[in-house]
Amino acid sequence: MIDLPLRAVLVGRVAPFGPEGRTSAIHKAPVDGPRAVGVNGFLDDEQADRRVHGGPDKAIHHYPLDHHAAWRAELGASVPHLDAPGAFGENLCTDGVTEADVCLGDRLRVGTALLEVAQARQPCWKLNHRFGVPDMAKRVQTTGRTGWYYRVIEGGSIGPADRLTLVERPCPDWPLTRLLRVLYVDTLDRAALTDMAALPALAQSWKTLADRRLTRDAVEDWTGRLTGG
């Protein structure tokens, strides 16, 4: 059963980031009170590239503080951002729940909003620049310490004093760790891909990805996403 307090609620604005004049809203700052939430997430949160960030299936990003100790152990104390919430550009962070504890389709009450787990995060090259680690996105993908995205089933408000409470679990056989294994490890397991594509709560982009692998019997190229090339 998931029932635990939020550690922080964070929002951010688009700003210059990385090479070649690119922009991002990956830098999120904690808020001190409730913030309104709609179908696209927090009303005062922004995304720089709406083709790949934001939208109803990526409305709110959640990252576990539980992972920070492992990252510090692997990367060293000098790597920035890992001493506080918001390191991975998340909107919500908690202690006590990870990808192993959350299932696709889980519905959770947070403040007055109702959220549904739609997908895990597919890390991109912006994490490399965020942490100054050239292969950080690949590390996030390989470890499965990705965090996840919610869609908003009922809008409302969410603040840092609220709790995260599980109210429904329609897919108990699909923890995010299993989903990530199909995506990044057993990449051409046809039975798993077929089952994955049929999950009602799964983000449409991930259903399309699974169907494409089944049709082509090949895995998509991750290079551009992971390196920015």
Rounded to two decimals, the pTM is 0.96
Q: Could you identify the residue written with the tokens 């908003």?
A: 152
DSSP E strands in 55-95: the ranges are: 60-64, 92-94
Q: In what order do the strands lie in the sheet with 107-110?
A: 3-5, 163-168, 107-110, 113-120, 148-154, 60-64, 92-94, 8-11, 29-30
The whole-angstrom separation of Cα 83 and Cα 122 is 23
6 pLDDT band, cuts 50/70/90, is very high
- Residue 62 has a CB neighbour count (10 Å cut-off) of 23
Query: In 215-226, which positions are buried (b, 16+ CB within 10 angstroms) versus exposed (e)?
Result: eeeeeeeeeebb
Residues 158-163, mean pLDDT to the nearest whole number: 98
Q: DSSP assignment, residue 3?
A: E
Pairing outcome for strands 156-158 and 148-154: unpaired
Residue 157 pairs in a beta bridge with 36
Instruction: Looking at 4-107, list the stretches that DSSP marks H as alpha helix, in order from N- to C-terminal side.
Output: 68-75
Residues 75-89, mean pLDDT to the nearest whole number: 95
Q: Which tokens in the block code for residue 152?
A: 């908003």
- In tens, the pLDDT along 167-217 reads 999 999 999 999 999 999 999 999 999 999 999 999 999 999 999 999 999
CA distances in angstroms from 43 to 11, 17, 47, 76, 91, listed in the order given: 9, 22, 11, 35, 12
The whole-angstrom separation of Cα 119 and Cα 201 is 9
Task: Determine which helix (DSSP H) or strand (DSSP E) holds 125, and give its type and residue range.
Answer: none
- In tens, the pLDDT along 109-158 reads 999 999 999 999 999 999 999 999 999 999 999 999 999 999 999 999 99
The whole-angstrom separation of Cα 59 and Cα 187 is 26
State yes or no: pLDDT of 52 exceeds 90.
Answer: no
